Structure 1
Amino acid sequence: MLDFAIFAVTFVIILVGAVLYLYPSSRRASGIPGLNPTDEKDGNLQDIIDRGSLHEFLVGLHDEYGSVASFWFGGRPVVSLGSVSELQQHINPNHASKQTSLDQQLFLHSGICWEKYLIEKKNILMHKSAKTKNFLTLPLVKKWKSFPEGQHTPLCAHLLGLAMKTVTQLALGERFGDDTEVLAFRKNHDAIWSEIGKGYLDGSLEKSSSRKAHYEKALSEMESLLLSVAKDRKTQRKQAVFVDALLQSNFTERQIMEDCMVFTLAGCVIAANLCIWALYFLSNSEEVQDKLHQELEDVLGSDPVSLDKIPQLRYCQQVLNETVRTAKLTPVAARLQEVEGKVDQHVIPKETLVIYALGVVLQDEETWSSPYRFDPDRFEEESARKSFCLLGFSGNQTCPELRFAYTVATVVLSTLVRQLKLHRLKGQVAEIRSELVSAPKDETWITVSRRSS
């Protein structure tokens, strides 16, 4: 079985517990306004559970105590930053450790340097991503074009399936061109992902022997599958997919399996939900959709999207940036305070965990005008692009899965929007479930119609 910490840190609240356990700090008060612990042993853990997610808890915390606020996890204080100004002050002068947004802490844990990997392998992975995604998107477009006008089209079901096929083939190889293999992978993926964070956070997994057995069985089967894939790929002489790049390294068999586990678990969810939210928002804005369609026609014509054309799709990039912002795609990140630091007048003690409340910042009225409105044009402003980059959603610090998801989503949009018009379902409002990766609370539907030639 994978070490508990590998999965625990995947969900930020579990990361909090792991870091505070591994890096003990004093219980001295920081002087930062915030909540007192409601329980001597668990701190404010029950408050987080009651709010439904760490993000929703942080929204309430910053509403009450301002942009710098504190709470307790177990017997130890945690500081949360909820504005661009505070994040900008904290990132460089305080010499904090590497940002642990989503999977980055996992990659560090297993010893792989992802910046180096991206520099050396980015073009191989992204070129293959665009080519493979074009190929895999065509059946989806054909299927949607066959629907009678007005038929409800389920975004979550279709796009999660598409993401699964794409990520498994690009990460693990042509073995997953077989739908049977993809379905088996998805069954175990869903069982593992549904328990990450949730079951450990409230202790419910340990209290349910049947759930725990189901989770452990899925985890064991996923490990066996990935070990089998790595063994089979050793005979490959070219670096064609993600696992091949890992096999060229000095990593152990277990490290390779763990890194494949992380990339595929997180990669499927991020790519799927970026596509889901992008298509949902486009279906609600005919003006944005038409503007994107015009750019795609001007840049691509009738050709499929390619890696060299993606940088020219500037408005498409703005649409995806605004999708990440509006949906709060990854609402929380964290850093460990390596030395005593300061934000505004507040002193942050050494070895304090600092939460970046990204979901709060992404809808901060002082940073974004009309923050709840989907408006890709806002990213024409340099100030908006700088703020977005500062939060880790663009530039060199973007996590590998998000970079990959942008390529996936660009191909999906470039294929669908040139051939189909997307229409919102009257009366439907997709509610956001803000977990580690924000997803719709329920299945989200649109209707489609063919574009005239």
Structure 2
Amino acid sequence: MILPFVLFAVFIVIALLVFLYSLYPGSQRVTTVPGLDPTTEVDGNVPDMQKAGSLPQFLINLHEEFGPVVSFWINRELIISVASPETHKAVAHLFDRPYSLFEPFLPLLGDRSIQLRNGPEGQHDRKLHDRSFTQAKIVQKFSMIQQICEELCDKWESVAGTGEHMPLSVNFSSLVMKSLTRFCFGDYFKDEEAMNAFTRDYNQCFHIMEQSIFEGPMVPGSEKEKRFNKAIKNMREVAGEIISARKEAEIAPEDKIFIDTLLDTYTDDDMVFDDIVTYLIGGSHTTSYYLTWAFCLLAKYQDVQEKAWKEVDEYYVEGPVTVDIMKNMKYLQNVMNEVMRYSKLAPYSARKSSSDCIISGHKIPKETPIIISAGTLMQNGDLWENPDEFDPDRFNKKIPAYGFEPFGFAGKRKCPGYRLTELESQMFIVLALKRFKVTLVPGQVVEPSYGLVTKPSEEIWILVEKRK
């Protein structure tokens, strides 16, 4: 009688252990990718991310420990991260984005944003959108962009040599919003008061969405939710006015801009609004913080600034800044690339595969979110010599394929506005270096704050002097 009882007891214990084991998300490894088991059953490795201070820093730490392909958990979902030229190449064909990783931004993006449209529909719409951001379309608006750039240069000249401190992030946020809104949505934002009001509402919404990543979603009925709803309502009203005006106007095909592409593509104005917000997020933060880091680093490294200025002075005298003029400035292009690398401006993006895929010999189950950890790759010591040093000359050497793709590459989902960011940024740098020497206000401690875009944790202040 004892033996059957013992066997029965053992069976019960084993069954109970199997049951408990199955409840724990890290217990059944569905992939051979090395990485972390969940810290908690519900939150996964979110506590580890919070301890690291940000997702990008968490990924850097994780890849240092486990290599170019790693796994971890966000809540109950398995996440894969890749950070090498070889692994980035392996996912370069993917187009679809994982819905779950963008969920915190849904109240702002909208659930029909191009950011989340996958499959044939998403690819079709992206191809249509891309037509509004060709180099030819941007060059058509060069005079407008240069005018806005020169307005900021004139503002700098008014304080040059006075000792007044100029705030980089504030200045470039205004510059980029002016140019981006007029490039994409037309002359409605020529009215500076209207542009400033729209920008304030947008910044309010984006700040609340950033907070929600670590603090959780807005509490229904809270003051935060009320502020968000009011701001998004104001933005919708402005978008409605722009949409109505463009629908009523007779616009020649060659004069159509991005808003017209949206109206030609969609019959639903809510989808138009979702994509207006999506492109504001994608365009304004990337370009404004890129310029912020560029002038911070030029001000800090005076030898780099002087070498770049000499090249600008050689190829540009006055008048329109053209693509051909900027193409001659090889060193300045190196500086711009090194700013992008050194700042880790866009530290990550994400994709998923609709079928099982293989990365570095590991089977990745279909629909698994795959993070492309560009920020980790940008400081990989095997790829970049002395990665913590700011050295534009490193770009005189050949970079391995997929080793430097700051605007993304995967599945035709490269940032659609990358040319606009590059050309506008270079144009302002040319115009500013031609007229000014910049230095950092002494005593500042500049620290990065990592998020969807890497920004300074506090405002960066510079001093401006006119060049003789």
TM-score tier (shorter)? 0.7 to 0.9
**Cross-structure match for 1:237:** 251
Q: What TM-score comes out, normalization by structure 2 length?
A: 0.83
**Cross-structure match for 1:81:** 82
**Cross-structure match for 1:106:** 115
Distance (Å, rounded) in 2 between the aligned partners of 1:53 and 1:376: 27
Which deviates the most, 436-445 or 228-237?
A: 228-237
SS at match of 1:382: coil
Distance (Å, rounded) in 2 between the aligned partners of 1:116 and 1:253: 17
Structure 2 contact 168–460 (Cα < 8 Å) conserved: yes
Structure 1 contact 128–170 (Cα < 8 Å) conserved: no
Distance 1:98 1:394, change over 3 A: closer
What code does the residue aligned with 2:38 have?
P
**Cross-structure match for 1:182:** 195
Q: How far is 1:397 from its partner?
A: 5.6
SS at match of 2:465: strand
**Cross-structure match for 1:282:** 298
Q: How far is 1:242 from its partner?
A: 2.1
Structure 1 contact 368–384 (Cα < 8 Å) conserved: no
Are 2:466 and 1:450 aligned?
A: yes
Distance (Å, rounded) in 2 between the aligned partners of 1:164 and 1:48: 32
Distance 1:86 1:266, change over 3 A: closer
Rg larger for: 2
**Cross-structure match for 2:49:** 48
SS at match of 1:388: coil
Q: Percent identity?
A: 28
Q: How far is 1:138 from its partner?
A: 1.7
Distance 1:397 1:129, change over 3 A: farther
Q: How far is 1:204 from its partner?
A: 5.0
Query: 1:351 pairs with 357, 367, 370, which one?
Result: 367
Distance (Å, rounded) in 2 between the aligned partners of 1:99 and 1:205: 24
Distance 1:376 1:169, change over 3 A: same
What code does the residue aligned with 1:423 have?
T
**Cross-structure match for 1:61:** 62
Structure 1 contact 295–313 (Cα < 8 Å) conserved: yes
CA deviation string 1:112-131 (max 9, x = no partner):
63344334651453124432
SS at match of 1:211: helix
Q: How far is 1:286 from its partner?
A: 2.0
Q: How far is 1:68 from its partner?
A: 1.8
Structure 1 unaligned segments of length 5 or more: list them: 1-25
Distance (Å, rounded) in 1 between the aligned partners of 2:306 and 2:442: 20
SS at match of 1:389: coil
1:271-420 to 2 correspondences below 5 Å: 271-383=287-399, 387-389=403-405, 392=408, 398-420=414-436
Are 2:215 and 1:202 aligned?
A: yes
**Cross-structure match for 2:10:** none
**Cross-structure match for 2:5:** none
RMSD: 2.8
Structure 1 contact 331–436 (Cα < 8 Å) conserved: yes
Distance 1:107 1:403, change over 3 A: farther
Structure 2 contact 91–410 (Cα < 8 Å) conserved: no
Distance (Å, rounded) in 2 between the aligned partners of 1:378 and 1:28: 41
Structure 1 contact 33–68 (Cα < 8 Å) conserved: yes
Q: How far is 1:357 from its partner?
A: 1.3
Distance 1:121 1:391, change over 3 A: closer
Are 2:435 and 1:434 aligned?
A: no
What code does the residue aligned with 1:311 have?
K
Residue-pair matches, total: 424
Distance (Å, rounded) in 2 between the aligned partners of 1:386 and 1:76: 27
Distance 1:356 1:160, change over 3 A: same
Structure 2 unaligned segments of length 5 or more: list them: 1-26, 103-108
SS at match of 1:355: strand
Q: What TM-score comes out, normalization by structure 1 length?
A: 0.85
Structure 2 contact 132–258 (Cα < 8 Å) conserved: no
